[in-house]
Homo-oligomer: A and B are copies of this chain.
Amino acid sequence: MKQKKFRKLHGVFVVEGTKSVEEFIDSDYEVLSLFITPDATTKMSKIPRKIEFFEITDDELKKISNLTTPQGVLAVVKIPMEDEKDLSFVRETTSDMGFTLVLDDVQDPGNLGTIIRTADWFGFSTLICSVGSVDAYNPKAVQASMGSLARVRVLYTDLTDLFASSPLPVFGAVLDGQSIYEIDFGKQGFVLLGNEGQGISPEIQSFIHHPVTIPRRGAAESLNVAISAALFCSELYRRSPS
């Protein structure tokens, strides 16, 4: 289940750790089965009866876990069907303070998971990824999201289609734009961030209405994409915290 191909074929992914598993049980996701050690069973506040349940030993868990230090419980969770309606909703109105984060080919699962966790903290309930982006159900992405994937919808779509069909302004994170602290974000729009090495791809750059830059005082050549995403979330929150 570490393989994307396997996940797509069977339509399931894996969540580990009591806290994260509980967040998925409490969410709209369908938890199919639990593999759990006796010790972890006592730590779970509730296990709904409809969930298939297998008590296993620490050694057995170690064999199926993606973690070097397994955390007592592993859940098999159903990948939700992508709903075309979701995207048309995002295209026209956007949710949460009027802004939606869009990632163009982010490749590192740890970065994607951290962005999901940060989006959840600041109240962004939807995240849009280009089809070439890393899979949000990758075990490392799920782990880095720390349970937040249970609450943040991650939609994959062709960004050209998305931007061409939406009237909303696109704010793009680039190196030579207006300062993030000074730009007028208005009431709604997309905040677009690019790939770790290449940034925003040239064909997508042409959709940017407002190039935005995180000002630099030192000498680092760039910022990590999860850091940039967080600075945008924070700045949008700071401008309209209610």
Residues of A within 8 A of B (CB): 19, 97, 110, 114, 117-125, 144, 146-148, 151, 181, 214-224, 226-227, 230-231, 234, 237-238, 241
A181-B218 contact, Cβ under 8 Å, with A114-B224, A231-B231:
no
A218 in complex: contacting residue of B124, B215, B234, CB < 8 Å: B124
Most buried by B among A119, A218, A237: A218
A151 to chain B, nearest CB (A): 6
Q: For residue A234, which residue of chain B has the nearest CB?
A: B231
Does A118 lie within 8 Å of B151, measured CB to CB? Answer: no
A120-B227 contact, Cβ under 8 Å, with A110-B110, A234-B234:
no
A24 to chain B, nearest CB (A): 13
Cα of A220 to Cα of B119 in the assembled complex, Å:
9
Cα of A144 to Cα of B123 in the assembled complex, Å:
27
Residues of B near A219 (CB, < 8 A) are: 120, 148, 151
Does A215 lie within 8 Å of B231, measured CB to CB? Answer: no
Does A234 lie within 8 Å of B214, measured CB to CB? Answer: yes
Does A181 lie within 8 Å of B224, measured CB to CB? Answer: no
Residues of B near A114 (CB, < 8 A) are: 224, 226-227
Residues of B near A216 (CB, < 8 A) are: 121-123
Cα of A109 to Cα of B203 in the assembled complex, Å:
35
Does B118 lie within 8 Å of A223, measured CB to CB? Answer: yes
Cα of A119 to Cα of B218 in the assembled complex, Å:
8
Residues of B near A97 (CB, < 8 A) are: 217
Q: For residue A122, which residue of chain B has the nearest CB?
A: B217
Please name 21 pairs of A and B residues whose Cβ atoms are closer than 8 Å in the assembled complex, sorted by A: A114-B224, A114-B226, A114-B227, A117-B224, A118-B220, A121-B216, A122-B216, A122-B218, A123-B216, A123-B217, A123-B218, A124-B218, A125-B218, A144-B224, A146-B220, A146-B222, A147-B220, A151-B218, A215-B237, A217-B241, A234-B234
